Structure 1
Amino acid sequence: MELTLSAVRDWTEEGVAELSIWFRGNPASVGSFVEAPASTYTMTATGADIWNDADEFHYAFKTLTGPGSIVAKVLSVDNTDAWAKAGVMIRETLAAGSKFAAVYITPGNGCRFQARTDSDVDATSDTSVATAEQTVIVAPYWVKLERDVAGNFRASYSSNGSTWRQMSWNPQSISMSSNVYVGLAVTSHNNSATCQVQFSNVTITDTAGQQWANQDVGIASNAAEPLYVAVSNSAGTPAVVVNDDMNAAVTDTWTEWVIPLSAFNDQGINLTNVDRIAIGLGTQGNITVPGGSGKMYFDDIRLYQPTEAAE
């Protein structure tokens, strides 16, 4: 973020000696997906839920064209909430409000079939027709989700991976594009906790040769990078001051950064003739090495007279 001042500014008037900037970022992502040993997958995730009109979860996925199915054995689910969810999903896009169908194993609400039948609307569930049998299921358990050529989704569960029980909410008709994302979904249903889940025996139709991809969906997060301020005169090299906290970008509460103006003056900046200020992340002036991703917020950028030390 760079601002060219409309007129030359004298940063020494009225005895000012400090630059104050308030900033806030987003926490670092805790989402992960690891295969070890072979064909056993460990995922971690936070997130409010896969529910309402926008989801927050971690997704490991491949792409599917047309009809298909996914099967997985949910080996374990951390009890971060009774409604923490771990299961299989078919999803139209990677947007938070995308249409989806999914069948999950939860720590306290059994095996559940849920869906969003249109983009950016509240998700729906099998709650009204859930059976007593399915509501007491816990990991380890098998789940399956199928899409047919007409766009009907059917969910089922199994204790052994061979004898399947169709869920009473079947089928759910959801109009999705032919090309969709299919994979494993995890949410902690608790933004302050990380849910760890293990899967095995994952099979997906017509995805041979594809590598897994994984990412957070709907969760705001930042990569940890240095935060800096650069001040310059009209014809000169900027003076750069870097925040002492190398994790400033993942600070998720409003924080004041006070910089003595002498830090710029000592680098040769004429404080009576300031015409440009820039705030950035990473290495100032870097245009070749990709940086991290995320969003930062800045407010109340001001000059102050020296702060008096407390007696």
Structure 2
Amino acid sequence: MTTVTPTRRPSTVVVGRDGFPQLLRAEWTKLRTVRRWGFTLLAAVLVTLLISLFSASSSGVEIAGGGSSAATGPDGQSIRDDFTFVHRTLPADGSITARVTGPTGVRPDRAPEWAKAGVIVKQNTQSGSDYAALMVTPGHGVRFQSDFTHDVAGGAASASTPHWLRLTRKGATITAYASADGRGWKKIGTTELAEQAGSVPVGLFVASPNVQSMERKFGNVSVNDGPSRSTARFDEVTVKGSDSGADWQRTDVGREAEGEQGKPGQSAGEPGAGKPGAGQPDNGGQGQLTRSGGTFTLTGSGDIAPGTPVQPDLVATSLNGTQLGLVLIAALGVLFITAEYRRGMIRTTFLASPRRGRVLVAKAVVISAVTFATGLVTAIASFLLTMPVLRDNGHKPPLFPEFSLTDGPVLRALFGTAALLALIAVLALGLGALMRNTAAAITTVVVVIVLPLILVSVLPLGLSQWLQRLTPVAGFAVQESTPRHHQVASLCLPEDGCYPQGAWTGLATLAAYAVVVLGIAVWRIRKKDA
């Protein structure tokens, strides 16, 4: 008899299909099939739009800073262009060289850090015309500035020590040089005037911007913003390419409407051009000039620079609703994980997909993708709906820029807002996985994000800026659209959306929080049973 031994087949164990694409599909199916989660997302959209519309309709025009805020530069941006200018005509190519001592303060005794004294070539003497200027500043050394927004550092310099400055002109090209002794020259930079011109005024100038300070105590804000006056001495002045017999003229640029324009033909030796204290009153914004041989002493106020940013930031205002809508987004992120813990479904999920860390990462990818897409649509709709309301309320050029959907700062703010909401959803998901309790996780999100947004409007300014820089609310910096130039001192409250760091730095701070919390949650979910 033949005995047949049956062949033993390897045993087969059915395991969950936990490939990452399958995980993504499974988590997406969960999200879209739970109706109340869809309602939560829709509520976030509606709340964001309604709050943004309310914020825009209640926003009034408030001009920060002083001076000629309505003046506009070559490309229409808000500028300041009011300063004391002593000049001659340069009909063609040539140069101007001067040894500058100053600027030093007249009122107050200490000159502002961005007070300016130096040499300048300007398209004409009208406010808003293009220029190139090489200057000494008390707080920032030698600077080469042009077109109101461009600023190049030219090295350290003391306002109490003479420094040689030179500008050369070749056609529309202006080149700046500086020297500590008048012999060895260092090239600082080159720029092009906006238009090719024939004769242009070239000469010496002094500007002294407003002195500003802001303090908040017990929720009350005190602002000091007053004019200043500074003085500087110029000697060894030479102009090549100009008629050597031509007289120097003094013009108070930007003050024609105030009746402070220097008289045509007024020279240093004429009455009315004296320095305060030499029989002349300190006449506010009007410049003062005395001349002794080849030495000019020039005193003035005002500034030649980008305009002080006007509040509010229109794009950020149009997105104000995200500060409340994020609570619902955070709630959705928390529920996306805690609902499974509460019902015990998380065990089934882990049984089907034993690699628990990948489950949480898949949830993070799905929730961030959904909130990013929803946030982007909401941000675009909010911008399009609120901008006409803001313009109707008086937020118009030149005080406020005209924004369109395709502008770079606008696109950054809109896509950044979508990323902001996506990161908040991931942060909330991580907290939900750590705490496994819906109420506790949502409360924590409110404490770490919403509470700082409230506190920045009541705490002392230094502490408010610390919260903006180091807490998750730093991500809201991505909504700023108003350009801020370092060469202009400006006052802006934290609650007006002024963040001390850059837009992408702020968003990166929030991203770091989300990644760290999610990473800890992945580690914990691997170590502890469901």
TM-score by length of 1: 0.49
Bigger fraction of residues in strand: 1
TM-score by length of 2: 0.30
Q: Could you say which structure has the larger radius of gyration?
A: 2
Bigger fraction of residues in helix: 2
The higher relative CO (CA closer than 8 Å, separation ≥ 6) is in: 1
